[in-house]
Chain A
Amino acid sequence: MAIAMNGRDGGKPAEPGSPSAPLVVVARIKSALRIVQADAHARRLGLRPGLTLADARARVPHLALADEDQAADLALRDHIADWCDRYTPLVGVDGEDGLQFDITGCAHLFGGEAELRDDLMARLAGQGFTVLSAVADTPDAARAVARHGRGGLVPSGTEREAVRPLPVAALDLEGQKLRALTRAGLTTIGDLASRPRAPLAARFGADLVDRLARTLGEAVHPISPRRPVPELLATRRFAEPIALMDTVLATLRGLAQELDAMLAQRGAGGRRFEASLYRADGAIRRIRIETGRPLRDAAIVIRLLSERIAALADPIDPGFGFDMIRLDVLAAETMTTVQSGLDGRQHDAESLADLIDRLSVRYGQARVLRFTREDSHVPERMARLVPAIAPEGRPDRAGGTWLQGQAGDPPAQPFCLFDPPQPIETLAEVPDGPPLRFLWRRVLHEIAAAEGPERIAPEWWRGAEGALTRDYFRVEDRNGHRFWLFREGLYAVEIKHPRWFLHGLFA
C-alpha cells in the first residue's frame, strides 16, 4: 500500500487562513523565487510548481505566500509515518512526501484492505491532510497508482492492467531519462511494457527495465522499514480513548501476558521491549526497556515498564486519551529454563540480575556499572566501567583475572583514583627522589615515609604524542594519610621541570 500526500506534486495540509486567497509555497531556486508547492485553489488558477513568483503574481495578484521549510516537511512526514504504525509495523518512506506500508497479514484486523484504506484516509482527512492512496500487490505498483493514477484498490494480479495507462513519469525516473522517453514517443507505461526489454535496457539503461518490472508487478522490491521491526507484538485498540494511567498499565499487563505466551511457544525471552502509546490526537509516546537477560514474565516486564514511566523526565500526558496501545519485543533471545538448585544459588544470581535490571531501568544504564579488566599497565586504563546490564560486563565473560598483590605486602595501588590526576606543588630533596612535602588542596603534607619510584612508561603504541614516563611513589604523611604521587617526565631526559601529580588515595 502506498500513500502520497495531496497529489503528485506533494502537498501540505490545508492551512487555516483566508480560504479565498490561493496559497503557494516558494523557495529560492537559482536566484529566483519559484513556486515549489501550490494548493488546490492555486492549481485551479494555473499556478504550477516551477513558476517564478513574479510570473505568478502577474497572473494572480492576491497570492498568499509561505516559505519552504524542508526540515519541517520531513518532520511532519516522519510524524505521520509514526502515527501510521497503528496499521502495520512495516512502514517505509517514499521520497519526501510519501509512505509505503506492507499490510500483508494486517488487513484482516481492519476488516479487509478496502476498510483499512478507508479508515486511514478518513483519519488523515480528519486531521486535515489530503492524501492519495492505493493498495496493490507490490509497493511500486501501489506507488504508481497512488501518485499518477486514481488510487484505490488494485485487485490482486491486475497490476499490469492498472498501470498500463499511467504516464512514464510514474516510473520515478530522473528528468533526463524521462525527457528521452517522451522524445522517443513513449508516453505511457503500456507503451514500454509492450516492447521487448533488451533494446530498452540498451538505450535507456538497466535501471528503467528494473523499474518497469517492479511497477508492472513482475518483481518485488521490499519496503525498508523506518523503525526496527519487532520480533513479536501485541496490540490493543479502544473504541473510546483511555486516559487513566492505571488502565494503561492494566492494558500493558494484558499485552505482556499475550507476549509471554508467544515467547514461551518459541522458547525465547525478550531482551528489549517497547511500549507505544498512541494518543487520539496523533502523538505517540514510546517507552523502551532493556533487560540483562532474556525475560518473559509479564509481572517483571510490567514492573520495569512502570519504573521507567515513573522515572521519565517529562511525564506521560494522556491528553484526550490513548486509542491504541502496543507492546513490542524488539529483540528476543533463546531462554533456557533452569531448574533452581536446592541450595538456591541459581536463584541468587537471578535475583541479582533482576536488581541490576530494575536499577538500570530506573536510573539509566550509564549509572549502574561494573568493572572490566583492560589489558594495560597505565593505572587509569587498567579497568573500565561498563553498564552492568551489558553481557560483556558480566564477570564470567571478562577476560583474565585481576592482579593479586604479593601476600604480606601492603596494597600497591590505591582504591580511589583521581581522573584527571590532581596537580600538586612539591618540594623534593633531589630532583628524582620522592618529595619532602607537598601542597594539595591548600593543605601541606609533610612526608614521613615513601616507597618508589615505580616507573610506568607511556604506551607508545597508542601514539600519544608527548606522553611522559611516570615515576610513582607511595607516600605517607606525618598524620598517617597515604597517597599515590607521581612525577611526570624523567628529569633532564624528557623534561626540564617535571610536574608532580597526586593520582590516588590509600587508606
Chain B
Amino acid sequence: MGTAGDSLAGLRRDIAAIVTADRATEAISAQALEEERFPLGLPALDRAIGGGLRRAALHEVFADQPGDAAAARGFSLALTACAAFDRPVIWIRQDMIAREHGELHAPGLMEFGLPPESVVLLRMGDALQSLRAGHEALRCPALGAVVVELWGTPRALDLTASQRLGRAATKAGVTAFLIRTGMGAAPQPSAALTRWSVRAVPSAHLAAGAPGAPAFEIGLLLHREGYPPQTVRVEWNRDDRAFRKAALSRPVAASSGDRPLASPGRENRPPGWNVVPIHGDRHERTGWRKAG
C-alpha cells in the first residue's frame, strides 16, 4: 500500500483516517449522489453520452458472445460500483446463473471495488420472480443500485416488464441494471435507457506476462437520449472506481494482422513461467455448444 497517495482511493483512505471514516464517505457520497448522472471516468466516453450515465434509469448489459458473460458481469459490476458509491446494492440473481457462471465471491467483489458489506444478494428461482423482486427493491429510495441478472431471454421479460422497471427506477431515483447473459440472451424491445454489449479483450500485461487490469470492449448499442452508438476499449481501475482508456497490449496489436507474435519476453521470466507465444487468428472462436 506504499504509494497509496497517488491514487484517488488512496487519498480517500488517507482522508478517512484523518476524519472519521464514516463521515468522510458520507460527505463524498452525498455530494456524488446529488448529481443526476454518474461519470464513468473516461472523459471521451462521458462526453459522448452527455456527461455520464443517468442515475435514475434502467440500463441493460449484454455479453457480445456467450463466452463474454463474465466480462458483461464485470462491466456491470464496475457500473454498479460507480453508481452506488457505498450505498446498499440489491443484487438479484437467477439460480441458473450461479450454477452456470459461479456464485458471487465476496473477496472478489471487494477486489473489484464494490464493498461486499453493501451488497444484499437475492437468489431467485425464475425470471418472473427476479423481475418482481427487482421491482419491489426499486421502491426503496435508499439504495445505490439494483442489479437484476437474467438467464437467456425469458418470456417474463417483455416490453411491459422493462417499462415497469424503468419507471420504478426513475421514481425512486435508483440506478437499475439488467444483465442478460446465457444461452439465447438477445436484445429485444425494451424500455432501457441504454443498452451495452461487452466483450472481453486482452489486458495490458504486467511485468512477467501477468494478466493486467480488467479490460473490455464496450459497445453502446442504443441510447434513448439520442447519443450515437459507439465502441470503446476501456480498462477498469478499481482503485479510483473509474474506467480509463485501455492500454494497448501485445495481443491487441497482434490481432490487427495475421503475422505470428514474437515471443513475449520469455527471457525475463522465471523458469516456472511458461507463457507461450501465440500463433493464429484471434477471431477464430471455438463453438460454444454447451450452455455457459
Contact = CB atoms under 8 A, between A and B. Distances in A.
Chain B contact-residue range equals 35 or more
A415 B77 contact: yes
Contact of B111 (A367, A385, A415, A443): A415
Contact of B290 (A359, A395, A411, A441): A441
Interface in B104-141: 104-112, 115-124, 129, 133, 136-137, 139-141
A343 B29 CA distance: 13
B205 interface: yes
Centre residue among B68, B101, B121, B129 by max chain A CB count within 10 A = B121
A478 B201 CA distance: 8
A411 B102 contact: no
Interface stretch (A28-36, A349-357, A493-501): A349-357
A408 B3 contact: yes
Contact of B70 (A358, A475, A505): A505
A469 to B, nearest CB: 15
A430 B274 contact: yes
B121 A385 contact: yes
Contacts of B215: 480
A405 B213 CA distance: 12
Contacts of B15: none
B23 to A, nearest CB: 11
A453 B208 CA distance: 13
A436 B274 contact: yes
Interface in B63-90: 67-68, 70-71, 73-75, 77-78, 88, 90
A268 B120 CA distance: 27
A46 to B, nearest CB: 62
A369 B121 contact: yes
Centre residue among B9, B102, B118, B205 by max chain A CB count within 10 A = B102
B239 A481 contact: no
A441 B107 contact: no
B133 A506 contact: no
B28 interface: no
B3 A407 contact: yes
Given A402-B115, A504-B105, A343 B30 contact: yes
B236 interface: yes
A481 B70 contact: yes
Given A367-B124, A475-B211, A481-B68, A414 B9 contact: no
Contacts of A343: 30
A453 B272 contact: yes
A385 B108 CA distance: 14
B1 interface: yes
Interface in B217-274: 236, 238-239, 251, 264, 272-274
Contact of A482 (B10, B110, B203): B203
Nearest to B110: A402
A116 interface: no
Given A363-B133, A443-B286, A504 B214 contact: no
A383 B122 contact: no
Interface stretch (A53-61, A201-209, A231-239, A444-452): A444-452
B289 interface: yes
Chain A contact-residue range equals 35 or more
Interface string A362-400: 110011111101000001001101001000000100100
Given A359-B133, A507-B75, A441 B106 contact: no
Contact of B208 (A370, A410, A451): A451
B158 to A, nearest CB: 22
A479 interface: yes
Contacts of B208: 451
B3 A402 contact: no
Interface string A463-507: 000000000001110111110000000000000000000001111
A392 B211 CA distance: 37
Centre residue among A345, A436, A446, A451 by max chain B CB count within 10 A = A451
Contacts of A370: 117, 119-121
B159 to A, nearest CB: 25
A507 B73 contact: yes
B216 A507 contact: yes
A168 to B, nearest CB: 62
A348 interface: yes
A507 B200 contact: yes
Interface string B2-29: 0110110110000000000000001000
B105 A383 contact: yes
Centre residue among A379, A383, A479 by max chain B CB count within 10 A = A479
Contact of A411 (B108, B199, B274): B108
Nearest to B115: A402
Contacts of A419: 102-103
Nearest to B213: A410
Contacts of A354: 140
B117 A371 contact: yes
B292 interface: yes
B137 A355 contact: yes
Contact of B124 (A363, A412, A448, A451): A363
Interface string A432-461: 111010000111101111110100000000
B285 interface: yes
Given A482-B200, A504-B102, A411 B119 contact: no
A363 B142 CA distance: 21
A159 B98 CA distance: 67
Given A359-B133, A482-B200, A507-B75, A449 B106 contact: no
B152 interface: no
Contacts of B105: 379, 382-383, 413-417, 504
State the 8 A-B residue pairs at the shortest beta-carbon distance, nearest first.
A507-B74, A383-B106, A451-B210, A415-B108, A348-B142, A416-B102, A395-B117, A411-B111
Interface of B: 1, 3-4, 6-7, 9-10, 26, 30, 67-68, 70-71, 73-75, 77-78, 88, 90, 101-112, 115-124, 129, 133, 136-137, 139-143, 199-203, 205-206, 208-216, 236, 238-239, 251, 264, 272-276, 278, 280, 282, 285-290, 292
Given A362-B136, A481-B71, 13 more contacts: A351-B141, A368-B121, A371-B119, A383-B116, A414-B102, A415-B112, A417-B108, A433-B274, A474-B210, A476-B211, A480-B201, A504-B108, A506-B214
